[in-house]
A and B are shown apart, each in its own frame.
Chain A
Amino acid sequence: MKARKPLSIFLAVQKALFLRELGMRFSVSKSGLFWTFFEPFMQVMVMVLIKLLIFGKSANTFDFAAFLALNFTAYNMFKNILIKSMGSFKANKGLFVYKQVKPIDTIVARTLVELFITGVIILFFIAIGFYFHFDLNIQHLPLVSLGFIWLAIFSFSLGLFIAVSNTFYPSIGRVIHILMIFIMFSSAVFYTIEMIPASLQNILLYNPLTHFMEMIHGNYFLSLNDHFVDYTYMLLWTLSLLYAGLFFYRRFEERIISL
């Protein structure tokens, strides 16, 4: 067999895994395709309804439904990459008989699939927005896009780190599942940091995910801004997690393969 270059092997593996993940998501059950797009829509509807019932029609400077749709799309991407990464080694164990498939490849592929699905969900929301004549003006489109991609890299790094630890200490996965609710409430998904009392602001801003959410909705809505966002803090978190994840992965790669 002709020898291939490492990059072309990596690309072939990624393509195969990506198409396989997508195929499994959609072709196995027809409802899979439906729920992938309908679930985030339902989530937003329920939240808007709850807000209307509890707080009434308060005057926001931005469209609250669009705000929730945007935040939930970003948060769901983070959550899905993290959860899918955590189970990735176990779920794809059978594939490691092909020596070109490394455990990290499965996490990269799952991240790419989530990024892709997020993109399609965004298009779905935009289509709804157009149909109902929502205001679709975006303040800084490049920064919003960067926010999503950066968040995907951050989630990948965290996912890789936790996937490796989870392999040797399965309790970590359970703790993360429990923590997810707490993370959701503490990361500016339902609110902007500006709405929060100053004493609480400083605590919430320790959560790196809060910065990502602020970056994304701050740059999206014309009436919001990103002056709470500390880009250096985000970069530090991303790089440290990526380094730690790759470091432990390299150390334990062989043990993960022959698990």
Chain B
Amino acid sequence: MIELKNVTKYFQTKQGRNYILKDMSITIPSGTNIGILGRNGAGKSTLMRMLGHIEFPNKGTISSNHTFSWPLGLGGGFVGKMTGRANVKFVCRLYGRTPKQIEETIAYVKDFSELGDYFEMPIETYSSGMKGRLSFGLSLAFDFDYMLIDETLSVGDARFKKKSKEALMKKIENCHVLLVSHDMGTLRDICDAGIVVNQGQMYYYNDINDAITEYENINKKAK
């Protein structure tokens, strides 16, 4: 269960405050994979970062008894000058893994990300697809209650996309996802429930299809 109590979040712009959420109270039930929908700039990623406790509301509280992954985006949280291996090691240490577990994780991530020799090269030499592959492989090596995914499924070539989707489907047998995506197909495949963020409000739908219908209505009105 994720509980939002009187949450207000805005960004200060020259024209005034741009509200993402305005005095929002809502309870999101546990046990579902949730897709987050909204127009560009509506605050989907911000909402996700707030749920992951790395961005904070201006007012109100967000509480939950679940663990969340770091937001999986395109290679955020890596140090450019360090090798892929060193970065994986670093994250393992952050989560308090023992040296033996670290070796296992490294072997797994190296195998999954298919980086080959690049695994021993500094991250700054990677293409964005390679970074995405490393980041996604690394996240699969950890167990969270919720994985926060920000459009990472679109990394790599068609074959790798298929592979990561399969890996994710297997992973979500034991955990859940919060997924930000513009791809309705992916959302329908993975998510059960949906959240639509629009003009300072967020709405929860038990069925992802209802969320998608609402999102399409919003888009129509905007035109």
Which one of A18-26, A35-43, A74-82, A131-139 is at the interface?
Answer: A18-26
Using an 8 Å CB-CB cutoff, how does the interface string of B37-78 with A read, 1 for contact, 0 for none?
000000000000100111110000000000110110000111
Q: Which residue of A lies closest to B57 (CB)?
A: A254
Q: Does A175 contact B (CB under 8 A)?
A: no
A94 to B74 alpha-carbon distance, docked (Å) = 12
Q: For A258, list chain B residues within 8 Å (CB).
A: 49, 54-56
Interface residues in A149-203 (C-beta closer than 8 Å to B): none
B143 within 8 A of A: yes
A95: Cβ under 8 A from any B Cβ: yes
Q: How far is the CB of A228 from chain B (nearest CB, A)?
A: 44
Interface size of B in residues (CB-CB distance below 8 Å): 27
- Nearest opposing residue in chain A for B94, CB measure: A16
Residues in B161-219 with C-beta less than 8 Å from chain A: none
* CB contact list, B71-96 vs A, under 8 A: 71, 76-79, 81-82, 86, 90-91, 93-96
In the bound complex, do residue A24 and residue B79 qualify as a contact, i.e. CB atoms below 8 Å apart?
Answer: yes
Q: Is the CB of B144 within 8 A of A1?
A: yes
For the complex, what is the distance from the CA of A97 to the CA of B69, rounded to whole Å?
9
Are A20 and B144 neighbours in the complex by a CB distance under 8 Å?
no
B108 at the interface (CB under 8 A from A): no
Instruction: Give 9 nearest A-B pairs by CB, closest first.
Output: A16-B93, A12-B96, A254-B56, A97-B77, A258-B55, A99-B53, A97-B70, A16-B94, A1-B67
13 contacts between A and B (CB under 8 A): A1-B67, A1-B143, A1-B145, A4-B96, A12-B96, A16-B93, A20-B82, A20-B90, A24-B81, A94-B76, A94-B78, A257-B55, A258-B56
- Point out residues on B near A: beta carbons under 8 Å: 49, 52-56, 67-68, 70-71, 76-79, 81-82, 86, 90-91, 93-96, 142-145
